[in-house]
Amino acid sequence: MATAVLKRKSGVIVGDDVINLFNYAQEHNFAIPAINVTSSSTVVASLEAARDKKAPIILQMSQGGAAYFAGKGVANDKQQASIAGAVAGAHYIRSVAASYEIPVVLHTDHCAKKLLPWLDGMMDADEAYYKEHGEPLFSSHMIDLSEEEVDFNIQTTAKYLKRAAPMKQWLEMEIGITGGEEDGVNNEDVDNNSLYTQPEDIYNIHKTLSAISPYFSIAAGFGNVHGVYKPGNVKLHPELLGKHQAYVKEQGGLKEDKPVFLVFHGGSGSSKSEYRTAISHGVVKVNLDTDLQYAYLTGIRDYVLKKKDYIMSQVGNPEGEDKPNKKYFDPRVWVREGEKTMSARVQEGLVDFNTAGQL
């Protein structure tokens, strides 16, 4: 069981527990879904799913999701809403995660060059938390400079890893662009060749970052696209990841068959065989967002359609003109329906990625 390699069996895990969990995932051929959360409601839906499937889980906030956590009415011209929302979300998740009796990796998603002030602000919070508690507030962050020149990407990532290393904080980076659109970053028109990472780049990154810290992972492009598209429009080649691992092993003279911790971006809409091929080549984290947004909607949508005649006014419904409707329009009722359908879709991912039953 995965908990055998963890010092902290439940709640937010950090440092050695994170790398031990990812090592265990590679050894036992599973990946951990990373769920984009934007509210306490989506956090709860995700934690319930992992608890019920006896699985670890990664909860992550994007820059936009973090701002939403703070409130859409808060100014964000200097990333202040995104910083405040991420920190607030992190404290909330830390407060409730242990109640679900599962290990949780607390992560932040894509941080492009223009969003680096957001990452800086979060790492300020990490260092303050570390000073008081001996561990960072977040388990890990992602820096995404895949749209920049490769050398700039690697050297800037290395700079941030040096800052994270004393806290044993994990850093995810991306090389090779993920197509599609997510959270205001639009790569729908990029050249298809940009979606496929070269093995030489993976080796260069691994060599550079390994000299600083072992706490890092690489989101390598193998045709990935954010969102869900018609079958045939997206051509994934997860078998390329196996070639990347073999190249790094050979060039570095390493013993491990899978020396690189890999990440699968743009996971929504992919086939189970594509997931499993990627996992067999050392993917330890798969991002899920678009499918879950839709799943959350369906529960609320179906409730509203079913209960339409009970939510058109505060009083009066098909059972009588004077019948109160509070028990139908109470947000705890209809929001809960969205949590249920989202949780069911997270459970599906836990099964697909072989994460279910690993605790």
Q: What is the pLDDT of residues 180-216, one digit of tens each?
A: 444 444 444 444 455 678 889 999 999 999 999 999 9
**How large is the average pLDDT for residues 81-94?**
98
**How large is the average pLDDT for residues 170-189?**
61
**How large is the average pLDDT for residues 254-273?**
85
Question: Which of 265, 260, 266, 254 is CA-nearest to residue 281?
Answer: 260
* Predicted pLDDT of residue 351: 97
pLDDT > 60? residue 320: yes
pTM exceeding 0.85: yes
Q: What is the CA radius of gyration of the chain?
A: 21
Q: Average pLDDT of the chain?
A: 91
With a pLDDT cut of 70, the percent of the chain lying above it is 90
pLDDT > 70? residue 234: no
pLDDT digits 0-9 by tens, 280-317: 999 999 999 989 999 999 999 999 999 999 999 999 99
| Reported confidence tier of residue 225, pLDDT bands at 50, 70, 90 | low
pLDDT > 80? residue 249: yes
Q: Going by C-beta distance under 8 Å and a sequence separation of 6 or more, which residues neighbour residue 29?
A: 279, 280, 354
pLDDT > 80? residue 19: yes
Active site residues: 109
* Predicted pLDDT of residue 221: 79
The DSSP 8-state label assigned to residue 297 in this structure reads H
Contact in structure between 44 and 57 (CB atoms under 8 Å):
no
Distances (CA, A) of 321 to 26, 316, 317, 325: 61, 4, 6, 11
pLDDT digits 0-9 by tens, 44-68: 999 999 999 999 999 999 999 999 9
Backbone angles phi, psi at 182, to 5 degrees: -155, 130
Question: Which of 265, 168, 251 is CA-nearest to residue 218?
Answer: 265
**How large is the average pLDDT for residues 15-36?**
98
The DSSP 8-state label assigned to residue 332 in this structure reads H
* Predicted pLDDT of residue 224: 60
Question: Which of 159, 270, 271, 150 is CA-nearest to residue 216?
Answer: 159
pLDDT digits 0-9 by tens, 137-155: 999 999 999 889 999 999 9
* Predicted pLDDT of residue 134: 98
pLDDT > 60? residue 157: yes
Least confident of 224-238, 257-271, 343-357: 224-238
